[in-house]
């Protein structure tokens, strides 16, 4: 006796690496001749960016560069200067298996940085940053969807799962020449520049994904008229980019994220020399993952009316995507100035942030931190710099169920401020991207064979047996016990459901 087994593929994402590797930063720097002497260091920071991500066999290779930025006061003690140094880095991570078609989510995290001026023209730098990656690969496990054999009864379950239909990471450039605002003095040097990218819309066109968004850039610069005066300019550069993404369709759910992996800025003059511009080249990495739903039929239990069965099974825990949610939350707080009186704020920005999300009793609860970097002038009009770490909580209603899980990322899209008597009132615009998942725990049958050495003894002395059932009993368990079928019990007793509704007598066909 043999069974004919039909199988279906059960796709699931498996994490094959989730961790970080530390990169040291050890530099001994002599200032170039065009940089003024250092009186006091205001801020020292390293900004690492990953430029390329490649997997070869079981090796993940991450290459990039980091910029060391020093904001300092020159010998006069009133003008803010900037020195930058660029270095490259490369990291190789060994994975636990080959993953040529894997999805790579990589980012960097600054661990610490110590900066010391050993002389007015020499800097001693020590620190480190971590290169982190989460690599997932889609695996397909075969499950039994039907058993064809004499005397076999089977219990089936249809479930809808999503799988990755397409994944694409593509880098592109956004180039622009930006004019200064009306009434702004001409630029002499750039003290600070940063950028982030946001998605505004996307749509599937064939096997391509059209992404529309903008790169937001902020400049802090010193003017030609007064080297001690600092000006701020902000720009939003729109763009559209077409990503090749095989396997996608209009019915897919998408997770699209943008990262600025490089920013090159220069000051340019017009022919007369009277007007200055900012020439910008921003390198943007687009990461797009497409998910599609697929209905899978699983045999969850089986028995034979003729003999015992050998059933191999295992438990599978799957995170099944429900949707992606994009929220904007305005976090308001007051930064106390303590012993640092401020007469004017030059610039406020964010460099580090973290966020986590949990589903609790019909709500998604967010908790996070962001640091606020403040460049200002004190009561004597001297430049000062300080940082504050801010905690935030945000709650949004969500009609989930037990087993709902969340994964969140955050971008600080802007910070506005107002100096008050008690400090600086802060309003931070937080862009939250949240993947919501349901956790499925299912029993998967992987193999079934008959055990003909253990035939089932059937009572042929009667056509029917009488069974006294309690309310709520499962007809499947009763049918298995008597070696009959659920359909036969339903037909004999004029039942429609799979459970006994009321306590009483059932007629069991033999």
d(CA 107, CA 362): 31
Q: Where are the domains of the chain?
A: 11-141, 151-305, 324-440, 458-509
Tell me, rounded to whole angstroms, the distance of Cα 135 from its chain centroid: 12
| CA-closest candidate to residue 141, choices 323, 322, 312 | 312
Q: Report pLDDT for 164.
A: 87
Helices (H) and strands (E) in the chain, counts: 2, 21
pLDDT averaged over every residue in the chain: 91
| DSSP assignments along 373-396, one per residue | EEEEE-TTS-EEEEEEEEEEEEEE
Contact 77, 36 (CB under 8 A): no
Whole-prediction pTM: 0.86
Q: Report pLDDT for 360.
A: 94
Q: Report pLDDT for 273.
A: 63
Q: Report pLDDT for 311.
A: 92
Return the half-sphere exposure (C-beta side, CA atoms, 13 A cut-off) of residue 142.
8
State how far the alpha carbon of 494 is from the alpha carbons of 466, 475, 497, 499, in Å: 15, 13, 10, 13
d(CA 285, CA 364): 29
Q: Report pLDDT for 421.
A: 80
Read off the pLDDT band of 248 (50, 70, 90): confident
| CA-closest candidate to residue 67, choices 132, 127, 118 | 127
Contact 442, 320 (CB under 8 A): no
Given a cut of 70, whether residue 12 has pLDDT beyond it is: yes
Average pLDDT over residues 265-275: 80
Contact 209, 168 (CB under 8 A): yes
Read off the pLDDT band of 272 (50, 70, 90): low
Kindly give, in sequence order, each residue whose CB lies less than 8 Å from that of residue 47, ignoring residues fewer than 6 positions away. 66, 67, 68, 69, 110
Question: 458-509 belongs to which CATH class?
Answer: alpha beta
Average pLDDT over residues 415-444: 91
d(CA 405, CA 437): 5
Average pLDDT over residues 44-49: 95
Given a cut of 80, whether residue 58 has pLDDT beyond it is: yes
% of the chain residues with pLDDT over 90: 66
Per-residue model confidence as pLDDT tens digits over 76-93: 999 999 999 999 999 999
Per-residue model confidence as pLDDT tens digits over 283-321: 999 999 999 988 899 999 999 999 999 999 888 888 888
d(CA 257, CA 424): 32
d(CA 424, CA 486): 71
Per-residue model confidence as pLDDT tens digits over 121-176: 999 999 999 999 999 887 778 889 999 999 999 999 888 888 888 889 999 999 99
Per-residue model confidence as pLDDT tens digits over 103-125: 899 999 999 999 999 999 999 99
Q: What residue spans of 213-294 are helical by DSSP H?
A: none
Q: Report pLDDT for 27.
A: 95
Q: Report pLDDT for 47.
A: 95
Per-residue model confidence as pLDDT tens digits over 181-202: 888 998 999 999 999 999 999 9
Rounded to the nearest 10 degrees, how much is the dihedral formed by the CA atoms of 54, 55, 60, 64? Answer: 0
Kindly give, in sequence order, each residue whose CB lies less than 8 Å from that of residue 496, ignoring residues fewer than 6 positions away. 490
| CA-closest candidate to residue 190, choices 239, 263, 117 | 263
Per-residue model confidence as pLDDT tens digits over 320-357: 889 999 999 999 999 988 777 889 999 999 999 999 99
Average pLDDT over residues 424-445: 92
Phi, psi (5° rounding) for residue 491? -65, -40
Contact 343, 377 (CB under 8 A): yes
First to last CA, the chain: 22
Helix 475-482 and helix 486-493, axial crossing angle in degrees, nearest 10: 110
């Amino acid at each position: 006796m043999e069974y004919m087994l039909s199988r279906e593929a059960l796709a699931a994402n498996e994490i094959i690496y989730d961790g970080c590797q530390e990169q040291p930063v050890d530099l001994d720097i002599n200032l170039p001749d065009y940089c003024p002497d250092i009186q006091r260091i205001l801020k020292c920071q390293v900004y690492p960016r990953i430029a390329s991500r490649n997997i070869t066999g079981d090796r993940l290779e991450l290459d990039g560069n980091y910029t060391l930025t020093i904001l300092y006061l020159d010998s006069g003690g009133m003008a803010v200067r900037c020195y930058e140094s660029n270095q490259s880095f490369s990291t190789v991570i060994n994975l636990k298996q080959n993953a040529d078609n894997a999805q790579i989510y990589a980012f960097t995290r600054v661990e610490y940085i110590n900066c010391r001026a050993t002389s007015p023209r020499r800097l001693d730098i020590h620190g480190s940053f971590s290169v982190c990656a989460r690599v997932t690969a889609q695996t397909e496990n075969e499950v039994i969807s039907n058993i064809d054999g004499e005397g076999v009864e089977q219990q089936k379950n249809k479930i809808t799962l999503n799988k990755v239909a397409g994944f694409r990471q593509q880098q592109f450039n956004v180039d622009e020449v930006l004019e200064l605002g009306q009434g702004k003095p001409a630029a002499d040097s750039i003290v600070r520049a940063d950028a982030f990218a946001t998605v505004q819309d996307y749509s599937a066109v064939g096997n391509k994904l059209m992404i529309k968004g903008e790169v937001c850039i902020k400049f802090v610069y010193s003017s030609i008229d007064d080297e001690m005066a600092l000006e701020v300019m902000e720009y939003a550069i729109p763009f559209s980019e077409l990503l090749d993404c095989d396997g996608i369709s209009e019915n897919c759910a998408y997770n699209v994220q943008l990262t600025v992996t490089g920013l090159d800025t220069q000051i340019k003059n017009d022919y007369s020399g009277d007007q200055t511009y900012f020439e910008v080249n921003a390198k943007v990495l687009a990461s797009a993952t497409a998910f599609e739903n697929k209905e899978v039929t699983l045999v969850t239990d089986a028995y034979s009316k003729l003999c015992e069965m050998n059933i191999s099974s295992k438990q599978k825990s799957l995170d099944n995507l429900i949707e992606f949610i994009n929220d904007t939350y305005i976090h308001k707080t007051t930064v106390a100035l303590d012993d640092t009186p401020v007469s004017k704020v030059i610039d406020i920005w964010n460099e580090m942030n973290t966020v986590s999300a949990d589903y609790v009793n019909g709500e998604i609860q967010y908790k996070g931190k962001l640091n606020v970097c403040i460049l200002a002038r004190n009561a004597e009009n001297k430049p000062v710099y300080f940082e504050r770490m801010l905690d935030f909580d945000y709650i949004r209603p969500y009609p989930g169920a037990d087993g709902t899980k969340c994964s969140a990322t955050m971008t600080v899209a802007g910070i506005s401020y107002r100096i008050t008597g008690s400090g600086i009132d802060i309003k931070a615009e937080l862009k939250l991207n949240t993947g919501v998942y349901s956790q499925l725990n299912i029993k998967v049958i992987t193999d079934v064979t008959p055990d003909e050495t253990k035939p089932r003894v059937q009572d042929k002395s009667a056509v029917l047996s009488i069974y006294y059932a309690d309310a709520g009993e499962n007809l499947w368990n009763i049918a298995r016990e008597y070696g009959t079928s659920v359909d036969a019990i339903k037909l004999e007793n004029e039942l429609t459901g799979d459970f006994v509704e009321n306590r009483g007598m059932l007629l069991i066909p033999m």
